[in-house]
Amino acid sequence: MTVQAEIVDGVLAGRHPAIARMLTHVERRTSGVDEALAALHPHAGRAHVLGVTGPPGSGKSTLVSALVRHYRDQGRTAGVLAVDPSSVFSGGAILGDRIRMSDHGGDEGVFIRSVATRGALGGLSRACLDAITVLDAAGIDVVVLETVGVGQAEVDVISAAQTIAVVSVPGMGDDVQAIKAGLLEVADVHVVNKSDREGASRTVAELREMLRLSHRRAGQWNVPIQQTVAATGDGVADLADAFAKHLTWMAECGELDRRARRNAATRIRWVAEELVLQQLRPGLAEFDAAVDAVTAHRSDPLAAARRLLDRA
């Protein structure tokens, strides 16, 4: 099976069936998918890509659903990539986030897809980045990347999104430890969800203190703290306004271009690593010969690796 030209044309026309088929090809790495992505790449770069991350149980999916509803009320289209843990049996996404957003089913202005992490330690796989390109090229206005929420290691989101929201919630364990976590340091906007709960003001105060103590540069974005109750929609419009202000600030100060270069560099590096790893696996004659040489102590691992990389 290969990626047919009409699928690319359908994606560019914004047709949901073509987008869905293209994303399936992206996850399966179907023959010809790289050429199709190359054809889509010049048409991407217009969407506002939001990264929404935070610990499990913070209400990210409910918040994303409320954001999508807000954008649709504004007449804007929205795409959601819900990054789910991979099934240990099939390797596919477990689909939990897509189930929780089922109230958007049938809306032609919304496209929702669960994407598997496929064991990516930082929470994202290469397929996630390619999926953003597909939705962006399809003309979707806002692409929301909701990450799996595995904790501090999940900072790969900064390599994919333009604006990053870190969602916290009152009463979820040791707040001081949460504030120390590297995950919170990537935030462009802090969100205290479920802020109708007891302890919300304390969580806001601790986040504000963390921001006050952080090292700031001249002209740096002033990270806001937004309180929301996603289940009722309270605060969601203000949160969307904060995202829009951040996008405007990035465009005005040049940060948007800097982040685009950073994201491009990450994608190039990830693809290069994947291409190299394809040449470094058991069963390939040169790799097996290198293993034999190291096992027999005729070579050492570093020298063998360098020779394989030179040949690759």
Residue 119: per-residue pLDDT: 46
Note whether residue 269 is domain-resident: no
**Residue 38 above 60 pLDDT?**
yes
Q: Is residue 255 over pLDDT 80?
A: yes
Looking at 10-24, 31-45, 104-118, which range is the least confident one?
104-118
Pair 249, 282: CB distance under 8 Å? no
Q: Looking at residue 134, what is its pLDDT?
A: 97
User: Do 61 and 193 belong together in one domain?
Assistant: yes
Reading the block at residue 305, the tokens are 């690796």
Average pLDDT in the chain: 85
> What value does the mean pLDDT take over residues 47-74?
93
284 DSSP assignment: S
CATH code, domain carrying 241: 3.40.50.300
Note whether residue 264 is domain-resident: no
Q: Name the pLDDT band for 55 (thresholds 50, 70, 90).
A: confident
Last residue of a domain, one of 24, 43, 62: 43
**pLDDT tens-place string over residues 202-218:** 989 988 888 888 777 77
What is the phi/psi pair of residue 31, to 5°?
Answer: -55, 130
Same domain, 34 and 53: no
Confidence at residue 177, expressed as pLDDT on a 0 to 100 scale? 53
Strand order in the sheet with 142-146: 110-116, 78-84, 142-146, 48-53, 163-168, 189-192, 225-227
> Does 160 lie in the same domain as 288?
no
**Does residue 268 sit within a domain?**
no
Per residue in 99-155, pLDDT (tens digit) is: 455 566 678 899 999 887 554 444 467 788 899 999 999 999 999 999 866 544 456
Residue 90 scores a pLDDT above 60: no
273 domain residue, yes or no: no
Same domain, 115 and 70: yes
Residue type, 1: M
Distance CA 22, CA 16 (A): 10
Inform me whether the pLDDT recorded for 179 exceeds 70.
no
| CB-CB contact of 172 with 56 (8 Å) | no
Q: Is residue 241 domain-shared with residue 222, that is, in the same domain?
A: yes
Which pLDDT score is estimated for 221? 93
Are residues 184 and 108 located together in one domain of the fold? yes
pTM, whole model, 2 decimals? 0.86
User: Is residue 147 domain-shared with residue 179, that is, in the same domain?
Assistant: yes
Claim to verify: residue 83 and residue 117 sit in the same structural domain: yes
Q: Output DSSP code: residue 167.
A: E
- Asked if residue 165 and residue 189 are part of one domain, the reply reads yes
Number of domains in the chain: 3
Q: Average pLDDT in the 16-25 region?
A: 95
Whether 147 is covered by a domain: the verdict is: yes
What pLDDT shows up at residue 121?
Answer: 42
Smallest Cα–Cα separation from 142: which of 226, 46, 236?
Answer: 46
Domain identity same for 130 and 154: yes
39 and 59 together in one domain: no
Place of tokens 């790495």: 29
| Percent residues over pLDDT 90 in the chain | 57
Q: Does 169 map to a domain?
A: yes
* Domain of residue 297, residue span: 279-311
Residue 185 in this model has a pLDDT that exceeds 50 = yes
CA-CA distance, 235 to 226, in Å (whole number)?
Answer: 7
Q: Are residues 203 and 304 in the same domain?
A: no
**Report for 17-31, 142-156, 214-228: range of highest mean pLDDT:** 17-31
Any domain includes 247: yes
